[in-house]
Amino acid sequence: MPWFVLFISAIFEAVWATALGQSNGFTLLIPTLVFLGGLALSMATLGYAARHIPISTAYAVWTGTGAALTVAYAMLTGEELVSVLKVLFLVGIVCAVVGLKLIKAPAERPEERRIPIDPSGSGADGGVVRAPQRQDER
């Protein structure tokens, strides 16, 4: 589900980027409102996805997919010229995004987890402790 939401977020990114270009510097009301709505929805859905996908991956996928969709829309509507190289590079972006989806993130090693142990929040203990080892790790 987070990956689906991230893709929806990228669509909203393409919407607000396109509306930004059509807003004439925020002087046209409808494109400006579409920009604001698309931006808000894009950020909200990106925030949700980033709770489940590492932010570095989520942001790369979001920007790459959003940029590819923005350029593809501009080419389909005639606002941007189509060229073999542009299409090839857009395919490259899509392949990179698919690759990021397919690779597995390394599992977090238990001894590297940050566990807050100072309930006062003073930070005096630094918040880093070794997690207890499981029976099979001893």
Closest CA to 114 of 99, 100, 130: 130
Q: Render pLDDT for 92-123 as a digit per residue (tens, 0 to 9).
A: 999 998 898 888 766 555 555 555 565 665 55
| 3-state SS class at 114 | strand
- Rounded Cα distance, 17 and 55, in Å: 21
Q: How far apart are CA 22 and CA 39, in angstroms?
A: 14
**Is the pTM higher than 0.75?**
no
Question: CA–CA separation, 79 vs 22, rounded Å?
Answer: 11
Q: Say if residue 130's pLDDT is above 60.
A: no
Q: What does the pLDDT look like over 53-77, one tens digit per residue?
A: 999 999 999 999 999 999 999 999 9
Q: How far apart are CA 65 and CA 72, in angstroms?
A: 10
Residue ranges per structural domain of the chain: 2-105, 109-138
Bridge partners (DSSP) listed for residue 114: 128
